Amino acid sequence: MILSAKQIEKIQKEAYRLGFVACGFTSLRKFDKEKTRFDKWLQSGFHGEMTFLERNAEKRFNPSLLGESFRSAIVVLMNYYPKEKTEAGKIPKVSKYAMGKDYHTVVKEKLCGLQQFINDEISPISGRCFVDSAPIYETRLAVDAGLGWKGKNTLLINKKYGSFVFIGEILSDLEVSENPTVEPNHCGSCTRCIDACPTGALQPDFLDATKCISYLTIEKKSYEKPDKLKTQPWVYGCDICQDVCPWNQKPEPTTIAEFSPKQFLLSAGISEWVKLNEPEFKNLFSDSPLLRTGFKRMQRNLKWIKNERGS
């Protein structure tokens, strides 16, 4: 079924009602150029311990392989920038995307609601909802759908909402008559994100994940950290390359209640973090992305911060 302009508008209207801030459509294609760059990146070892990136490379750069009937993607963005501010100078810090409930659950529930709407109001479709849950080059899909451009911080940047957005998509047998106009890259000669990266992880043409604070505090499983790399004040993730971006200087707070920060993350200092035992940690973060890293590695991250501060 080829979607008409009126049907596309109807789907977008429902997406906005559900809380998404952008909704675009694109036919599926192979990302051959991107795959070549990715293969070289893997061969250079810049992915570190993230061995899962070595699997399903063909699917990652050819999304139609995720379903025989899949022809297009409906790509949505959800703003997660929190209304509440953390206390000034608070250590340790947690990346903004992880301050509230796990985005995988929140975004996917609303995305599946959009798919049900299409089944009920447009036409029954064969499709699947994805939220960072399959080998999909989501940033490229979002660019193809006209929702922004890939910034020098490697993230999607939307003209209105910057980079503080989650990406989700419905891959299905729906078809679009033509793809939207791709948003030009508006980074220009700006290198603020690259210049601000404290570990040198961001390079002009690539990201060395093994030096990235987000990688070190979330993905790295081993307990040893290169001496020259500092992670403080971050205990989980890092927002530096986003906070300095000109497109994020006037952020519009999210309207999604589930992304409201946990009070503990807004004010707790190292002493409060250290007092947490494992059951308390699991109870506090049972619905949070922080649970993925686990109690022991969070203790490791706290130890790194304390050692760097000499306390």
List residues with catalytic annotation: 132
How crowded is the C-beta side of 256, counted as CA atoms within 13 Å?
A: 29
**The two three-digit tokens of residue 88, written as one number:** 């000034």
Q: Distance of CA 234 to CAs 39, 198, 223, 288, 293, Å? A: 30, 12, 16, 17, 14
From 239, 233, 235, select the one nearest 163 (Cα to Cα). 239
Tokens 């308390």 sit at which residue? 280
Residues 6+ apart with CB under 8 A from 264: 272, 284
How crowded is the C-beta side of 36, counted as CA atoms within 13 Å?
A: 2
CB 66 within 8 A of CB 136: yes
From 231, 80, 71, 86, select the one nearest 155 (Cα to Cα). 80
Q: Distance of CA 248 to CAs 133, 236, 252, 275, Å? A: 26, 20, 9, 35
3-class DSSP assignment, residue 77: strand
3-class DSSP assignment, residue 156: strand
CB 278 within 8 A of CB 295: yes
Q: How far apart are CA 209 and CA 50, in angstroms?
A: 9
